[in-house]
Amino acid sequence: MKKSILSFVLLLFVLIMQAQNINLLPPVKTGGKPFFEVVNERHSERTFVKREMPLQTLSNLLWVANGFNRPDKRTVPTGSNRQEMELYVVCDTGIYFYNAKQHLLEFIAKGDFKDALGQPNISNNAAVSIVMVADLDKSSIESARMSSGYISQNIYLFAASEELGTVARGSFKKDDLSKVLQLKPNQSVILVQPAGYLK
Ligand SMILES: Cc1cc2nc3c(=O)[nH]c(=O)nc-3n(C[C@H](O)[C@H](O)[C@H](O)COP(=O)(O)O)c2cc1C
């Protein structure tokens, strides 16, 4: 009896936690594989082994991808410093917005929305899929596509350093994704990039 009450309380705790913002851990800004090794090992992977990503790894990944490395500027360049790109994270339990300034995951929706990502053979076993979203009030779609390339490459290099798998995905269900991410008309999904484990 005592055990089942404890299990229920634990389940309730897990469910409540899933429907809340997640404070990311401060990114680790030292170490990693040497730069030339990382460039040499950069490649696309599409087959992942299902495994949860530790919070520290996710924190580092998001910071590398599009975090702030100076008070008002980021790890990736943007034309005229417009900073038009923001990231959303789709994982097994829900969808979050990466608030880069606060280095925080803001809860958007609870549930499994991986179907909206398309290419289920790739998406289903990835630990997370990062969705790159442009604010087209801040820049043109052409600039946003270039900016996404920088974010994508940072993710590729991080993956090579951490021995994770990743692949840039230009093929995704744009309408479905826009709906589940609750995007406004000025926001457009540019690229999707899963990251996951190879073993
Ligand atoms: C803009 C862009 C869109 C891409 N879209 C997809 C995609 O939808 N699905 C996929 O499996 N790979 C996609 N890729 C990955 C490429 O197929 C891959 O980079 C290419 O085959 C070279 O392999 P490599 O990354 O291992 O060097 C995309 C890559 C880029 C840069």
Number of domains in the chain: 1
> Which residue from 146, 169, 173, 177 has its CB within 8 A of the most atoms of ligand 1, so it is best to mutate?
169
Residue 7 lies in a domain: no
Q: Distance between terminal CA atoms of the chain?
A: 39
- What is the whole-number distance in angstroms between the Cα of residue 18 and the centre of ligand 1? 32
Residue 176 lies in a domain: yes
By residue range, what is the domain housing residue 113?
Answer: 22-196
- What is the whole-number distance in angstroms between the Cα of residue 43 and the centre of ligand 1? 9
The domain that contains 155 carries what CATH number?
A: 3.40.109.10
Q: Which residue shows structure tokens 């009450």? A: 5
- What is the whole-number distance in angstroms between the Cα of residue 156 and the centre of ligand 1? 11
Which atom of ligand 1 is closest in space to residue 45's alpha carbon?
Answer: 26
* Ligand 1: lining residues by beta carbon, under 6 Å: 43-44, 46, 167-171
Which atom of ligand 1 is closest in space to residue 122's alpha carbon?
Answer: 11
pLDDT tens, position by position, for the chain (199 residues)? 555 554 544 444 444 445 799 999 999 999 999 999 999 999 999 999 999 999 999 999 999 999 999 999 999 999 999 999 999 999 999 999 999 999 999 999 999 999 999 999 999 999 999 999 999 999 999 999 999 999 999 999 999 999 999 999 999 999 999 999 999 999 999 999 999 999 9
Residue 62 lies in a domain: yes
Q: What is the pTM of this model?
A: 0.92
Residue 49 lies in a domain: yes
Contacts of 169 (CB under 8 A, 6+ apart): 117, 118, 119, 122, 191, 192, 193, 194
Residue 5 lies in a domain: no
